[in-house]
Structure formats: C-alpha cells, structure tokens
Structure 1
Amino acid sequence: MKISSIIALLFLLISFNSQAQSDKMKEKREQIKSMKIEFLTTELDLSQSEADKFWPIYTAFEDKEFELKHSKSRTLIKKYNESKDKMTEKEASLLLNQMDKNEEELFLLRKKFAANLKGVIPPSKIILLKKLEEDFNRKLLAQYRNKGQQRKD
C-alpha cells in the first residue's frame, strides 16, 4: 500500500471520527434541551395560551445565546490561546474589546428576551424562569458529577 493511500485512509478515518463526535455532541445537546423543556414546562405551569407564545420566544433566545456563548466565545478564546505568548498589547486590547462586545451582546439579548416575555407571561413567572434555569443547570451538573464518581468506583 502506498504512503499516499495510507494518508488518505487516515484522513478518511479521522473525518469519520470527528463527524461521529460532532453528531454525538448534537445528540447530547438535543437530549439536554428536551430535559430542560420538560423541566421548565412542569415547573412554570404555563397555560396552553402562554406555552404557545412562550416556547418560540424561548427557543429563539436559547439558540442565539448558545451561538454567542459558544461559537463567538470559543473563537475569541482560541484566538487568545494561539497567540498569547506573542500577543502585543494592542492585539490584547482589541481582543478584550471583542470579548466586551460579546458580553454586551449577551446582556442585550437577555434584556430583549425579558422584554419579549413581559407580554406573554406575568413578571412573577419571568423571575421564576430565571431561578428554574439555574436550578436545572445545578441539577444537570450534579448528575454529571455523580456519573463521574460512579465511573471511578
């Protein structure tokens, strides 16, 4: 077998492996999303009318928040990690400005989200939603930790 054939085969195997990992991550994210929807639906006790208006707003918000938190933030962190040892102060300042802009976008997104919800559910449920999201994240983290401890045993 020629070296070029071996290299092509390796690239093919690597691409399949990375695609499988990507699909697995998407599947895991969808699974968590479903768990969260079930949790919030139960705990928020939305009427049918509230739910019909709430979920499209919430889903759009979550998708945009995920993009800002993960895609943009990871890009900035990657940029920092690639050049941290040779980064000039000017480059660091530009990167810091980009990070600040990303945080500001997140803040404005959350503010717009709350404003959009005000006409859909009462303010008490908006506050409860914020608490429930934190509760869900803690619950998810606890499950993850417990899974890790079980594997060690």
Structure 2
Amino acid sequence: MNIKKLLPILLLLVSTSFYAQSESMKEKKEQIKTLKVAFFTTELDLTNAQAEKFWPIYNTFDDKQFELRHQKMRAFMKKMNDGSLDKISEKEANTFLAQIQDTEEELFLLRKKFTSNLRAILPASKIIKLKKAEEDFNRKLLQQYRNKGSK
C-alpha cells in the first residue's frame, strides 16, 4: 500500500480520536498538526527535498500565526463579548480599533514573509496549492466540528 492510500486512512483514524472530551488543548493542537501534515503531504505532493525545507518554515509560520490569532485576538474578542462595548468611549474605541488593525497587519506581514520564504524552495504553483489546501483543511475541520455538535 503506498503512502497516498495510507494517508486518508490515517487522517480518518486520527480525526475520530480528535474530538475525545478528555484531551487537553495542547493534545488537540498536536492532533490538528498531525492531520494537517497528512493532508498537506497528500495535496502538495512535495518531494523529499522540498518537504525537508518546507516543514520547518511552515511550522514556524504556523506557530507565530497561532500565537497572534489566539493570544492577541482572544483579548479583543473577550472585550467585544463582555458587554463593555456598549459603554466604551470614543477614545477607547479608537485605541481598540488601532490594536485590532495592528494585529491584522502583523498577520498580513507574517503571511507575506512566509510566502517569500517559500518562493525559495517551492514553485509558485505549489504555493498556490498550499493556500487552497489550507482553506480546504480548515473547511473540513470545521465541518467535522459541526457534525460532532449535531450528533
């Protein structure tokens, strides 16, 4: 059995165990990472040389992106959802908006640098396939989450 036939089976096995209630957030993040590696490996069809260079760059990017989204944005979302927005002054709103825009710009610059780093090791067609694979992966993950919630 070749790796392309084995990866979907691995993906299915890992995804079923992903939603176990007793797992910590760190374990879930690692499982998502495992699923992502399997999915991207299949979708991008990287050579061994490309994969060797790609994964360290991708993992660094993914960790930084996660940190930005889940650390900074979590604070913003908490403020938006705690009811204090109804009582916020215009000055505070402007400060808050500037912080959100700064974080969004950091994310954009991070993605831009990541793409630039990838250009040194992958052809443009694979970088575009990566973007599609990321969107497809996130869509499938969200669908699994929704399906789990409806059971």
TM-score, normalised to structure 2, is: 0.80
| Offset of residue 146 of structure 1 | 1.8
* CA distances 1:54-79 after superposition (whole Å, capped 9, x unpaired): 00000000000011111101112223
- Count the aligned residue pairs: 130
- In 1, the alpha carbon distance for the partners of 2:23 and 2:139 equals 25
TM-score, normalised to structure 1, is: 0.79
Where does residue 37 of structure 2 map in the other structure? 37
| Offset of residue 23 of structure 1 | 6.2
Long gaps (5+) in structure 2? 1-20
Provide the identity percentage: 63
| Offset of residue 144 of structure 1 | 1.5
- In 2, the alpha carbon distance for the partners of 1:27 and 1:61 equals 19
C-alpha spacing 1:144/1:77, structure 2 compared with 1 (3 Å): closer
Long gaps (5+) in structure 1? 1-20
Q: Which runs of 4+ in 1 moved over 6 A?
A: none
- In 1, the alpha carbon distance for the partners of 2:103 and 2:66 equals 12
Where does residue 122 of structure 2 map in the other structure? 121
- In 2, the alpha carbon distance for the partners of 1:90 and 1:74 equals 21
Residue 46 of structure 2: SS of its match in structure 1? coil
C-alpha spacing 1:22/1:62, structure 2 compared with 1 (3 Å): farther
| Offset of residue 104 of structure 1 | 0.4
In structure 2, give the amino acid aligned to 1:146: N
Where does residue 7 of structure 1 map in the other structure? none
Residue 61 of structure 1: SS of its match in structure 2? helix
Alignment RMSD, CA only? 1.7
Where does residue 60 of structure 1 map in the other structure? 60
Pairing 1:98–2:102 present: no
Superposed counterparts of 1:4-153, under 5 Å = 24-82=24-82, 83-149=84-150, 151=151
